[in-house]
Amino acid sequence: ELAQRMAERAVDLVKFFMKQGQMMKPGDVIDADTAELIAVEFGHTVKRVAESDVEEGMFNIEDRSEDLQSRPPVVTIMGHVDHGKTSTLDAIRDARVASGEAGGITQHIGAYQVEHNGQKITFIDTPGHAAFTQMRARGAQVTDIAILVVAADDSVMPQTIESISHAKAAGVPIIVAINKIDKHEADAQKVRNQLLQHDVFVESMGGEVLDVEISATKKLNIDKLLEAVLLQAEILDLKANPDRTAEGVVIEAKLDKGRGSVATVLVNTGTLNVGDIIAVGNEWGRVRALVNDGGEQIKSAGPSMPVEILGLQGTPQAGDRFAVVENEAKAREISDYRQRLAREKAVARQAGQRGSLEQMMSQLQTSGLKQFPLIIKGDVQGSVEAINVALDKLGTDEVRARIVHSGAGAITESDISLAETSGAVILGFNVRANKQARAAADQDGIEIRYYNIIYDLVDDIKQAMSGLLSPER
Ligand code: GDP
């Protein structure tokens, strides 16, 4: 690739390396310094391109506070399977159609907006935390508020706890929707009590987390839930500047037979217009058309507004960021650069650069952060609790374990994505990772350690901690 860029023959580069005593063949990877040396040697002028150079003009415009205006909150619905996430999303969507709002909802684009008391709210249309964490793993945070749906006849379950961990790791406030209150076995108070054990304190229990009793299928208190969202949004004081070039995040993307690459994006800031040129993930394109959640073509989309973009050259991925750039050349330069970066990363991964407990320790050491994130999965709740207590006791003023998430059950993909976003190592006690989780861990370079004796587990972590304490190690 370097030879090609210099319009030289690859064989001449190989010869040059040989003279230096290095055996290289086309396709081998060299570092930036070596590349620069060679380019200069071959009589070329080198311009080092860092990410910050390429992306100059992207993500770096500071907004003046007087330009900021309120923007709608972006909400994700999370919770245990069958607790009513989809039903809640449907109930909210139906409320909009019932209110006779223009357009109604005719198509699924990955997110939709409703209006309540004259204020807009954006809902991510994919329930569950998988989408949420995948996006975060790609460095994008789109969710402002998480609605945690808990069925009142089933109370707190494993995925409820997972959802809490995900929201907490992301620093996203939770609103609890206690669902299925129409059922005669519903026990809302039990839900509140159980949430306490997971550090979710609802208002009536002396905390600050808003909770609403709803029935998604009977459409009870859906308006109260929306009011709670707006109240929480007010507390968060969400703002953006609509009068600037747009930036945002892809929440869904696909290759459509008839329409080509289609990406649904959420505008974070600025206003996106038809005709804008955008760089998005490793791709770019000129916005040929914008389609809203009602299936209507629109000319522009402002902050927190979900919209489909048509006209991209390739299909980006969920979680990719986009920004409007000044011209096509710039857009191409950015996508070329990012594609190259992605290739290099893939090569590095193949070369076996894996995260490990040791690596994490040395990273923490250099960053000076003396706590390390762990995810604990065990066969039964009792052993998980015992491990938590033992690890907690290990902590000193200088260094301590931070349990990002713990629970009973096999290690799943959700644990892997949580590990990736929080930088945690996963410890399995008498449990294994399922097949998908193993594949994901392999791909993302997440370390999973297995134990069947609590003492061994605690001792390992103790060793690692003492490594953190003595800088000479
Ligand atoms: P999800 O897996 O969390 O998306 O849950 P769903 O929305 O698919 O709901 C699971 C089941 O619970 C479905 O059979 C729903 O009809 C039922 N359900 C959801 N909300 C309610 C409710 O408020 N009351 C009652 N009685 N059933 C509900």
**Residue of the nearest CA to atom 2 in ligand 1?**
82
Identify the DSSP state of 61: P
CA distances from 457 to 220, 395, 449, 451 (A): 48, 15, 9, 6
Instruction: Using the mean position of ligand 1's atoms as its centre, give its distance from the Cα of residue 104 in Å.
Output: 23
Was 127 annotated as part of a binding site? yes
Look-up of token digits 């749906």:
149
Element (H, E) at 371: strand 371-378
Q: How far apart are CA 418 and CA 132, in angstroms?
A: 10
Task: Tell me the two tokens of residue 216.
Answer: 């998604």
Helix (H, G, I), strand (E, B) or coil at 437: helix
Q: Is any ligand 1 atom within 6 A of the Cβ of residue 219?
A: no
Q: How far apart are CA 432 and CA 410, in angstroms?
A: 6
Was 445 annotated as part of a binding site? no
Was 182 annotated as part of a binding site? yes
pLDDT tens for 117-158 read: 999 999 998 777 766 776 766 667 789 999 999 999 999 999
Instruction: Using the mean position of ligand 1's atoms as its centre, give its distance from the Cα of residue 149 in Å.
Output: 10
Give CB contacts under 8 A, 24+ apart, made by 104-108. Answer: 104/294, 105/293, 105/294, 106/294, 106/295, 107/293, 107/294, 107/295
Helix (H, G, I), strand (E, B) or coil at 52: helix
pLDDT tens for 241-289 read: 999 989 999 998 888 888 899 999 999 989 999 999 999 988 999 999 9
Label residues 247-264 b or e (16+ Cβ within 10 Å = b).
Answer: bbbbbbbeeeeeeebbbb
Whether the Cβ atoms of residue 213 and residue 225 lie closer than 8 Å to each other: no
- Is this prediction's ipTM beyond 0.85? yes
Helix (H, G, I), strand (E, B) or coil at 22: coil
Query: What per-residue confidence (pLDDT) applies to 347?
Result: 64
Q: Is any ligand 1 atom within 6 A of the Cβ of residue 87?
A: yes
Q: Is any ligand 1 atom within 6 A of the Cβ of residue 129?
A: no
Instruction: Using the mean position of ligand 1's atoms as its centre, give its distance from the Cα of residue 98 in Å.
Output: 20
Helix (H, G, I), strand (E, B) or coil at 227: helix
Which residue positions in the chain have pLDDT lower than 50? 52-53, 56-60, 102, 352-355, 470-473
The pair phi, psi for residue 187, each rounded to 5°, is -135, 90
pLDDT tens for 395-426 read: 776 777 888 899 888 999 889 988 887 788 89
Mode of pairing for the β-strands spanning 260-269 and 306-312 = antiparallel
Q: Is any ligand 1 atom within 6 A of the Cβ of residue 180?
A: yes
pTM of the model: 0.71
Q: What atom of ligand 1 comes closest to residue 179's alpha carbon?
A: 23
Q: Is any ligand 1 atom within 6 A of the Cβ of residue 92?
A: no
Count Cβ atoms below 10 Å from residue 309 Cβ, excluding itself: 28
